[in-house]
Amino acid sequence: MKNPKLFLIFLIVGILFPLTVFSQIISQSFEQLAGLQKTQNRFVVVFIHTDWCKYCQAMKNTTFKDKEIAALLNQNFWFVELNAEEKSDITYNGQTYKFRPTGNNTGIHELVEKFTMPNGEAAYPSICILNPDFEIIFQYNQLLSINDLRLLLNSLLKTI
Protein backbone atom coordinates (compact mmCIF):
# COMPACT_ATOMS: atom_id res chain seq x y z
CA MET A 1 0.00 0.00 0.00
CA LYS A 2 1.34 3.43 -0.94
CA ASN A 3 0.24 5.25 2.23
CA PRO A 4 0.73 3.17 5.42
CA LYS A 5 -0.81 5.92 7.60
CA LEU A 6 -4.02 5.84 5.58
CA PHE A 7 -4.08 2.04 5.83
CA LEU A 8 -3.63 2.27 9.61
CA ILE A 9 -6.50 4.77 9.89
CA PHE A 10 -8.82 2.52 7.88
CA LEU A 11 -7.78 -0.47 9.98
CA ILE A 12 -8.46 1.34 13.28
CA VAL A 13 -11.80 2.73 12.08
CA GLY A 14 -12.76 -0.70 10.72
CA ILE A 15 -12.11 -2.34 14.07
CA LEU A 16 -13.35 0.31 16.51
CA PHE A 17 -16.36 1.74 14.66
CA PRO A 18 -18.46 -1.44 14.80
CA LEU A 19 -17.75 -1.72 18.52
CA THR A 20 -19.15 1.75 19.18
CA VAL A 21 -22.19 1.35 16.94
CA PHE A 22 -23.30 -2.10 18.07
CA SER A 23 -23.46 -2.55 21.82
CA GLN A 24 -23.47 -6.12 22.91
CA ILE A 25 -24.54 -7.41 26.29
CA ILE A 26 -22.27 -9.97 27.88
CA SER A 27 -24.42 -12.97 28.73
CA GLN A 28 -23.44 -15.39 31.49
CA SER A 29 -24.61 -18.94 32.07
CA PHE A 30 -26.47 -20.08 35.17
CA GLU A 31 -23.56 -22.39 35.97
CA GLN A 32 -21.20 -19.37 36.13
CA LEU A 33 -23.30 -17.28 38.52
CA ALA A 34 -22.06 -18.67 41.84
CA GLY A 35 -18.44 -18.07 40.88
CA LEU A 36 -19.20 -14.63 39.50
CA GLN A 37 -21.00 -13.60 42.69
CA LYS A 38 -17.84 -14.54 44.63
CA THR A 39 -15.84 -12.06 42.56
CA GLN A 40 -18.44 -9.27 42.71
CA ASN A 41 -21.94 -9.31 44.24
CA ARG A 42 -24.42 -8.05 41.65
CA PHE A 43 -28.09 -8.30 40.87
CA VAL A 44 -28.84 -10.91 38.21
CA VAL A 45 -31.09 -10.03 35.26
CA VAL A 46 -32.65 -13.11 33.66
CA PHE A 47 -34.20 -12.59 30.23
CA ILE A 48 -36.63 -15.42 29.44
CA HIS A 49 -37.61 -15.80 25.79
CA THR A 50 -38.46 -18.22 23.01
CA ASP A 51 -37.32 -18.36 19.39
CA TRP A 52 -40.87 -17.99 18.05
CA CYS A 53 -41.96 -15.00 20.18
CA LYS A 54 -42.04 -11.82 18.11
CA TYR A 55 -42.06 -9.63 21.23
CA CYS A 56 -38.97 -11.43 22.51
CA GLN A 57 -37.21 -10.76 19.23
CA ALA A 58 -38.33 -7.13 19.34
CA MET A 59 -36.90 -6.74 22.83
CA LYS A 60 -33.63 -8.34 21.74
CA ASN A 61 -33.40 -6.03 18.73
CA THR A 62 -34.37 -2.78 20.45
CA THR A 63 -34.10 -2.72 24.24
CA PHE A 64 -31.01 -4.92 24.51
CA LYS A 65 -29.25 -3.24 21.56
CA ASP A 66 -29.39 0.17 23.24
CA LYS A 67 -25.87 1.36 24.14
CA GLU A 68 -26.88 2.72 27.55
CA ILE A 69 -28.76 -0.47 28.49
CA ALA A 70 -25.82 -2.61 27.38
CA ALA A 71 -23.40 -0.48 29.41
CA LEU A 72 -25.64 -0.57 32.52
CA LEU A 73 -26.02 -4.34 32.32
CA ASN A 74 -22.38 -5.11 31.53
CA GLN A 75 -20.97 -2.85 34.25
CA ASN A 76 -23.41 -3.43 37.10
CA PHE A 77 -25.38 -6.66 36.65
CA TRP A 78 -24.94 -10.28 35.68
CA PHE A 79 -27.12 -10.94 32.62
CA VAL A 80 -28.44 -14.40 31.74
CA GLU A 81 -30.54 -15.37 28.73
CA LEU A 82 -32.85 -18.35 29.09
CA ASN A 83 -34.63 -19.89 26.14
CA ALA A 84 -37.84 -21.25 27.66
CA GLU A 85 -37.63 -24.28 25.37
CA GLU A 86 -33.99 -25.11 26.12
CA LYS A 87 -33.64 -28.89 26.08
CA SER A 88 -30.35 -29.26 27.93
CA ASP A 89 -30.09 -29.58 31.70
CA ILE A 90 -29.13 -26.44 33.60
CA THR A 91 -27.56 -26.50 37.03
CA TYR A 92 -28.39 -23.42 39.04
CA ASN A 93 -27.89 -22.72 42.74
CA GLY A 94 -27.07 -26.35 43.52
CA GLN A 95 -30.04 -27.88 41.70
CA THR A 96 -30.37 -29.36 38.21
CA TYR A 97 -33.35 -28.29 36.11
CA LYS A 98 -34.55 -30.17 33.02
CA PHE A 99 -36.71 -29.67 29.97
CA ARG A 100 -40.25 -30.89 30.61
CA PRO A 101 -42.18 -31.95 27.49
CA THR A 102 -45.80 -30.79 27.39
CA GLY A 103 -46.79 -32.33 24.05
CA ASN A 104 -45.43 -33.28 20.65
CA ASN A 105 -42.33 -31.14 20.06
CA THR A 106 -43.39 -28.70 22.78
CA GLY A 107 -42.33 -28.16 26.35
CA ILE A 108 -40.89 -25.81 28.89
CA HIS A 109 -37.72 -25.80 30.88
CA GLU A 110 -38.24 -26.32 34.62
CA LEU A 111 -36.08 -23.30 35.36
CA VAL A 112 -38.55 -21.09 33.51
CA GLU A 113 -41.26 -22.30 35.86
CA LYS A 114 -39.10 -21.19 38.80
CA PHE A 115 -38.82 -17.68 37.37
CA THR A 116 -42.39 -17.18 36.10
CA MET A 117 -45.05 -15.06 37.69
CA PRO A 118 -46.62 -16.21 40.97
CA ASN A 119 -49.70 -17.53 39.16
CA GLY A 120 -47.45 -20.13 37.53
CA GLU A 121 -48.16 -19.08 33.96
CA ALA A 122 -45.24 -18.41 31.68
CA ALA A 123 -45.46 -15.47 29.31
CA TYR A 124 -42.79 -14.15 26.99
CA PRO A 125 -40.69 -12.15 27.10
CA SER A 126 -40.10 -12.17 30.84
CA ILE A 127 -37.58 -10.42 33.00
CA CYS A 128 -36.71 -11.81 36.40
CA ILE A 129 -34.28 -10.01 38.67
CA LEU A 130 -32.47 -11.80 41.46
CA ASN A 131 -30.59 -10.26 44.34
CA PRO A 132 -27.00 -11.40 45.00
CA ASP A 133 -28.38 -14.22 47.17
CA PHE A 134 -30.41 -15.50 44.16
CA GLU A 135 -33.75 -14.49 45.64
CA ILE A 136 -36.37 -13.24 43.18
CA ILE A 137 -36.98 -9.54 43.77
CA PHE A 138 -38.72 -8.58 40.52
CA GLN A 139 -40.73 -10.33 37.78
CA TYR A 140 -42.28 -8.84 34.69
CA ASN A 141 -43.77 -10.74 31.78
CA GLN A 142 -44.09 -8.29 28.91
CA LEU A 143 -41.81 -6.42 26.60
CA LEU A 144 -39.88 -3.73 28.44
CA SER A 145 -39.03 -0.60 26.50
CA ILE A 146 -35.59 0.96 26.62
CA ASN A 147 -36.83 3.72 28.95
CA ASP A 148 -38.65 1.34 31.29
CA LEU A 149 -35.67 -1.00 31.61
CA ARG A 150 -33.32 1.96 32.13
CA LEU A 151 -35.54 3.25 34.96
CA LEU A 152 -35.71 -0.20 36.55
CA LEU A 153 -31.96 -0.80 36.38
CA ASN A 154 -31.12 2.67 37.69
CA SER A 155 -33.58 2.29 40.57
CA LEU A 156 -31.94 -1.04 41.51
CA LEU A 157 -28.51 0.58 41.48
CA LYS A 158 -29.74 3.18 43.99
CA THR A 159 -30.53 0.38 46.47
CA ILE A 160 -26.93 -0.83 46.57
Q: What would the pLDDT profile of 5-17 be if each residue is shown by its tens digit?
A: 555 455 454 554 4
Summarize the confidence of residues 69-78 as an average pLDDT.
97
In this predicted structure, what is the pLDDT of residue 101?
Answer: 93
Contact 15, 98 (CB under 8 A): no
Nearest to 146 by CA among 136, 154, 138: 154
Q: How many CA atoms lie within 13 A of 117 on its CB side?
A: 10
User: 24-158 has which CATH code?
Assistant: 3.40.30.10
* pLDDT band of 119, cuts 50, 70, 90: low
Summarize the confidence of residues 132-153 as an average pLDDT.
94
> What is the pTM for the complete model shown?
0.83
In this predicted structure, what is the pLDDT of residue 122?
Answer: 85
